[in-house]
Amino acid sequence: MATKAVPGAAATGEPTDVATPATAPNPLRKGLRLERIPEPCTMVIIGATGDLTERKLAPALYNLMLGGFLPPEFTVVGFARRDLSDVAFRERLHASVGDHSRNRPVKASIWASFARSVEYQRGEFHDPNAFAELTKRLARIDRDRGTAGNRLFYLAVPPVLHPEIVRQLAAAGLVASGEARDARHKGWTRVIVEKPFGSDLASARQLNREISEVFNEDQIYRIDHYLGKETVQNLAVFRFGNGLFEPIWNRRYIDSVQITVAETVGIEGRGEFYDQTGALRDIVQNHALQLLAVFAMEPPIEFQASDLRDEKLKVLRAVKPMTQREVALSTVRGQYQAGWVAGEQVSPYREEPEVAPDSQRETYAALKLAIQSWRWAGVPFYLRTGKALATRATEIAVQFKQAPLALFERAGASSLDPNVLAIRIQPDEGILLRFGAKVPGPGLQIRGVNMDFRYGSSFAVDSPDAYETLILDCMIGDASLFTRADELERAWEILDPILTAWESGEGGELHFYEAGSWGPAAADELLERDGRTWRHP
């Protein structure tokens, strides 16, 4: 997971043999890149005219091409309901890359090469004839471009459409992979599935069952873009590659752990979706619990997908689901009211379009979880996420146990703050360590100081977008950073009792907070009862 090369070479400012063919490439860089170039393949984006393609997929594919991570035969087929020509679809993608790529302006030569590999097919998702035409197109691309029958289907559509689409793919003969195909076509077939993965345990199991009736588990890549972020991948290197930290990564030295996923934006016009979903389903079920699992897992036997995902699953299985009484004591749900964020006035959640005027949906969630394992017994894990908060930040903050104070108290020093290790996921990816130091001058005064590592300044490299890493991993067949079915279902087993208690009214009242704040006062009280406070990034 964390030891492999990741795309991003073109952003370093150093020449590469792809972007500047006249310049001699760095042999080491070339070797690492060649290890990450997938086999020739066709990527079919189903729902190719949507927001996900515009904001994430098109820029990611362009940046992979720019970095030299895609084979010359690579081909993109957009499949959607709109009536577009190949040329019109290419123009849409070009505009998307120009607006959202981390590498701008768009290089004409790279874009021209990429555009030649882009096609478009109009089709309804329930129409067998459209999928029959797609089958013919893919066979022609295999023949003309040498993509060898390797196909990646990206379902960039709402999950409610996934079962119908995979059934149509199966009926069209597009899901077989490897030896399951005839002797002439042994290429691989994979499918990327976007979140949300169900709305509760029952719906997640049903979705898994319906997709698994068509695809084998090793063909299914459930994407969580947080796991593609550089700092999340670096967690394994940080823990298992440094003799300094792994010995203290346990209940003997760690007092508590906080995982924060804070957003300054509101629901951004997604009122209908969000009022059915809420913060617990939208962020905690996937992003926050995955961060917890990666942080707390035991060392895997090898850095292989099966071993990594086995260890994450063990962490989730050790998380004790709450009783109804525990939900009321160990969780807080909130909803933002009017306020100011970054100098802009924010309307109350209940006044957002397509939101019920008496909505009980949470835009903020805070939980106290326990991992019942030898390593983590007695260490509380506090998770929180919210919309319209004071700062946009995602981080894991580790608070270590307090050092003995007797020595310094006798010398007249004030109390010491505990050491904190903050792993920043976004923005400004990096790691901060806070410890006590003596203030220069007479007497003994102690003040907290920071050691701050930032990826951008330390490596002079623009980190790849998470979608670049994850799409490339799927093409290569590395499932390390994707969620397995049993992980997904266990996450819902943890959260289902909370959702049930909240919706029944037995899990505590809905608290309100001012937009631009750090959430409801009840969330502060959740930690204050334990003698702790939230860290505000």
Exposed/middle/buried for 476, CB within 10 Å: 0-12, 13-18, 19+? middle
Q: Which residues contact 77 (CB under 8 A, 6 or more apart)?
A: 42, 43, 44, 45, 119, 120, 121, 134, 137, 138, 141
Radius of gyration over every alpha carbon of the chain, rounded to an integer in angstroms: 25
- Catalytic one among 126, 287, 511, 536? 287
Count of CA atoms in the C-beta half-sphere (13 A) of 463: 21
Tell which residue, 119, 199, 123, 128, has the closest CA to residue 158. Answer: 199
287 is catalytic: yes
Beta-bridge partners for 340: 345
Contact 119, 85 (CB under 8 A): no
Q: Around Cβ 404, how many Cβ atoms within 10 Å?
A: 8
Six token digits for residue 494: 């943890």
Six token digits for residue 123: 């089709």
Contact 6, 464 (CB under 8 A): yes
Six token digits for residue 398: 């580790």
Count of CA atoms in the C-beta half-sphere (13 A) of 249: 19
What is the spatial distance between Cα 346 and Cα 339, in angstroms, rounded to a whole number? 5
Alpha helices by DSSP H, 80-214: 86-100, 108-115, 128-145, 162-171, 201-212
Catalytic positions, written as ranges: 287
